[in-house]
């Protein structure tokens, strides 16, 4: 059985031969630089995390980077938002419509059919090696909207200016549907969406309001993917338990990243196990940083027991990006623990 088929079986609860694992560790930013440990991580990652191509097939484009007089790198994305590259990743620092909806002309709504957009992706797909590929429509809707209007504005807009909010939302969805159409014509297995809807304590808005303002848009996008015969993946940080039944109802197949400090993994297994495939769950905020290798291995065993018991239903991984202060011994323990299931 190919890794592609094995991963599909796990997602569809069709008894995979082994546990699929999809983990990516950015060794370049780890503080611990022990050469032997880094070499061991490289060996284990190549052997263990081999089932799903990381979601690098993101075909949004952006302008050239430039460096200011302080050595800070910046770029403007395809939509017109300005980004800055910090020591902890890239964040937006200017929003083209922050001053109002009359600034819509500052937004460059991308053309999904722009020549050359998929050239890099198509070259990658030719070298796929028969592994499972989840192609992205990243920063899908809520995140794209607030990167145009600013975060606080986008939380308020549906209530104070619903007409303009809905018009902008629908334009973003229209672009996304074009991107989805482009992807499902290609030899991929899933379309991977991203919108962080939860803090670590609760949903960012009332769930009934989410259902009114956003659920129909996700339904349209998920329907397009499922009609094309592909799986639907979604990355959504934080506590989204209140809308998880809705996401399952409208066709979500795989949820990432499963943050145990925001959602009780035992509750997720009990209430939603066998209804959706979970990807992730190993705590990068606590166990991976402050625990022992034995703690890490115990948590991996717990996750596999909770989520993979449904003739599938689990893809091994972490609750988010492995943090730079994580001890190498715990990263090694993580890979060794998952290796026992492949």
Residue reference for tokens 């039944």:
245
Q: Is 28 exposed, middle or buried (CB count within 10 Å of its CB: 0-12, 13-18, 19+)?
A: exposed
Check pLDDT > 90 for residue 55.
no
Interhelix angle 151-160/162-184, nearest 10 degrees? 120
Check pLDDT > 60 for residue 54.
no
Judged by average pLDDT, the poorest of 22-26, 183-187, 199-203 is 22-26
Q: To 5 degrees, how large is the angle CA 156–CA 157–CA 161?
A: 130
3-state secondary structure 228-290: CCCEEEEECCCCCHHHHHHHHHCCCCEEECCCCCCCCHHHHHHHHECCEEEECCECCCCHHHH
Encode 267-292: b = buried (16+ Cβ within 10 Å), e = exposed.
ebbeebbeebbbbbbbbbeebbeebe
Is residue 85 within 8 Å of 74, Cβ to Cβ? yes
Percent of the chain with pLDDT over 70: 99
Residue pLDDT, tens place only, 223-282: 999 999 999 999 999 999 999 999 999 999 999 999 999 999 999 999 999 999 999 999
Q: Determine whether domain 3-59+110-339 maps to CATH 3.20.20.210.
A: yes
Residue 49 DSSP SS3: coil
Domain boundaries, the chain: 3-59+110-339, 62-109
Residue reference for tokens 């929003």:
95
H helix or E strand, kind and range, residue 224? helix 215-227
Output the pLDDT for position 204. Answer: 97
- Rounded to an integer, the average pLDDT of 5-13 is 97
Of 279, 199, 189, 180, nearest in space to 235 by CA: 279
Check pLDDT > 60 for residue 34.
yes
Judged by average pLDDT, the poorest of 113-117, 127-131, 188-192 is 127-131
Average pLDDT, the chain: 94
- What number of CA atoms fall less than 13 Å from residue 141's CA on the CB side? 27
Task: Give the confidence band of 63 by pLDDT, cuts at 50, 70, 90.
Answer: confident
The two counts, helices (H) then strands (E), for the chain are: 13, 11
Count of other CB atoms within 10 angstroms of residue 45: 17
Radius of gyration for the chain, computed over Cα atoms and rounded to the nearest angstrom: 20
Output the pLDDT for position 205. Answer: 97
| Paired tokens of 157 | 């807009």
């Amino acid at each position: 059985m190919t890794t592609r088929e094995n991963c599909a079986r796990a997602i569809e609860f069709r008894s995979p031969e082994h546990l699929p694992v999809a983990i990516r560790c950015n060794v370049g930013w780890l503080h611990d630089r022990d050469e032997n440990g880094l070499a061991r991580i490289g060996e284990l990652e190549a052997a263990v995390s081999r089932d799903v191509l990381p979601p690098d097939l993101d075909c949004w484009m952006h302008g050239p980077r430039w460096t200011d007089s302080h050595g800070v790198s910046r770029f403007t994305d395809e939509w017109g938002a300005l980004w800055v590259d910090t020591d902890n990743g890239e964040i937006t620092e200017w929003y083209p419509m922050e001053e109002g909806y009359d600034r819509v002309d500052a937004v460059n709504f991308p053309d999904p059919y722009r020549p050359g957009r998929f050239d890099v992706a198509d070259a990658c797909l030719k070298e796929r090696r028969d592994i499972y590929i989840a192609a992205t429509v990243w920063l899908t809707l809520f995140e794209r909207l607030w990167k145009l209007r600013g975060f606080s504005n986008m939380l308020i807009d549906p209530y104070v200016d619903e007409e303009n909010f809905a018009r902008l939302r629908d334009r973003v969805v229209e672009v996304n549907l074009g991107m989805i159409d482009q992807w499902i014509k290609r030899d991929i297995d899933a379309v991977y969406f991203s919108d962080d809807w939860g803090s670590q304590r609760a949903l960012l808005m009332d769930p009934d309001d989410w259902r009114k303002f956003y659920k129909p848009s996700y339904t349209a996008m998920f329907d397009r993917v499922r009609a094309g015969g592909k799986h639907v993946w979604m990355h959504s940080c934080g506590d989204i338990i209140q809308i998880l039944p809705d996401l399952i109802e409208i066709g979500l197949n795989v949820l990432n990243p499963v943050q145990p400090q925001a959602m009780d993994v035992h509750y997720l297994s009990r209430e939603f196990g066998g209804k959706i495939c979970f990807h992730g769950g190993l705590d990068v905020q606590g166990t991976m940083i402050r625990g022992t290798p034995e703690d890490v291995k115990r948590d991996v065993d717990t996750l596999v027991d909770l989520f993979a018991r449904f003739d599938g239903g689990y893809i091994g991984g972490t609750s988010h990006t492995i943090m730079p202060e994580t001890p190498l011994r715990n990263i090694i323990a993580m890979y060794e623990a998952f290796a026992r299931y492949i």
